Structure 1
Amino acid sequence: MILPISKNALLLALVAIVCVALLGLVNQLTQPKIAEQQLANKLAVLNNVLPENTASESLLADCVLVKNETLLGRPSPQAIYRLRDGQQISAYVVETTAPDGYSGNIDLIVAVTPEGTVLGSRVLNHQETPGLGDKIERRRSAWIDSVKGVQVSADNQAAWAVKKDGGQFDQFTGATITPRAVVNAIYNAGLLVLQTPELASRPANCGANQ
């Protein structure tokens, strides 16, 4: 005779097994859709900083991981995507970080030509103050578009600053630290491209990291 407590334990075990099986089935059914949505989201972000509709799955595959904490803001490798026109690279899309935001790291993506012209930039993640520092987001203001078309070179760093520091970019009323950090990170991303010509020939190695 099975004791009542044993029956309850058996019932709970069966319910647990059924729940795990259902969760596994749901995961199998939804995983392709989630992966498809993640891919679409990433391509949408890339298309925001590149000429219209040039981002594709081939761009995501043509990616190298670069470790340079000084210019890319993190001790871990960051991804750099290579946009090609035939065999020639027409742009690099750099994932970078401003480590000196008002509230910590500001993650960005920056598109820059091999010659150092910034094609566009977008903020991917930040913890800046709502209503002040969050104007770095494109949905909050058009400020981030002010970097578009601006040239990066080894000798024009002084121009890559907010106006309060003698540069050419506006700061926000009551929030200078945030735009200062973003402008500096974008400049550094362009400088990395200029200082690393071997980016063009490195084998793609992002793989499962992306």
Structure 2
Amino acid sequence: MAHDEHTHEDKNNSVFKIAMNLAITCFISGAIIATTFAITEPAAAEQRVKAKNDAMRELVKDAESFNPIDGKDGWYGAMKGGKVVAYVVPASSKGYGGAIEMLAAVTPDGKAMDYKVLKHNETPGLGDKMVEPKFRKQFANKTANDMEVVKVPTDKNIQALTGATITSRAVTKGIKEAVEAVAAYSATQKK
């Protein structure tokens, strides 16, 4: 009987050792992950800010600076000669492959200038053509009223990408909402 108790004690000991080793491994792994995150996250955050600044400069090439707009999260006024020449605002919509995140440049009088896609999961060779100038330039100088996706081209509306109507509608919806938001905001600034 003493022999059985000894075996039981050994089993308990080995389970305890395994549990302790597992706990120590988890703790060390967690510490490594936390340290790596602490080191890499500021660099990643800095990279995101740089990417956003580069995107804004690409959208409004003649701007001298970009000033955050009070009370509008993620909005910037593109400044030239002390005046706002455009607003750069976040735009998003749900496409075929999920969220499409963009930055939209809009004139103070509520017309689209251009947009830049920051993140998407659209189909390669179809939906991802939304980033190409041929599709993007259709938005230039359009008000929200003219942003309607059509399959047969017109000068007034947005022609859908071939095989990617869902993506076309999603981008158009996101940019249209951004243009409407800027137009509404600008109306309050004129008072």
- TM-score, normalized by length of structure 2? 0.68
Matched pairs, number: 178
Identity %: 29
Match of 1:187 among 155, 176, 191: 176
Q: Does 1:84 align with 2:50?
A: no
Alpha-carbon contact 1:82-1:89 (below 8 Å) kept? yes
| Distance in 2 (alpha carbons) for counterparts of 1:159 and 1:23 | 46
Match of 1:41 among 32, 51, 67: 51
Alpha-carbon contact 2:153-2:159 (below 8 Å) kept? no
Q: Does 1:114 align with 2:113?
A: no
Greater helix content? 2
Residue 27 of structure 2 is matched in structure 1 by 17
Alpha-carbon contact 1:162-1:180 (below 8 Å) kept? no
Question: Shift in Å at residue 114 of structure 1?
Answer: 0.5
Query: Which contiguous aligned blocks of 4+ residues in structure 1 show a shift greater than 4 angstroms?
Result: 52-56, 101-105, 158-161, 198-201
Instruction: For 1:144, give the aligned amino acid.
Output: R
What is the root-mean-square deviation in Å for CA atoms of aligned residues? 3.6
Question: Shift in Å at residue 92 of structure 1?
Answer: 0.9
Residue 162 of structure 2 is matched in structure 1 by 173
Instruction: For 2:58, give the aligned amino acid.
Output: N
Per-residue deviation, residues 1-43 of structure 1 (Å, max 9, x unmatched): x964244444444444333333333333223222212212222
| Distance in 2 (alpha carbons) for counterparts of 1:162 and 1:169 | 6
1:1-210 equivalent positions in 2, closer than 5 A: 4-5=13-14, 6-51=16-61, 54=64, 59=67, 61-62=68-69, 64-65=71-72, 79-85=74-80, 87-99=82-94, 101-102=95-96, 105-138=99-132, 142-148=134-140, 150-152=141-143, 157-158=145-146, 161-162=149-150, 164=152, 166=154, 167-197=156-186, 200=189
Runs of 5+ unmatched residues, structure 1: 66-77, 202-210
Question: Shift in Å at residue 109 of structure 1?
Answer: 1.9
| Distance in 2 (alpha carbons) for counterparts of 1:127 and 1:159 | 23
Larger Rg: 2
Q: Which has the higher contact order (CA 8 A, sep 6+)?
A: 1
Question: Shift in Å at residue 91 of structure 1?
Answer: 1.3
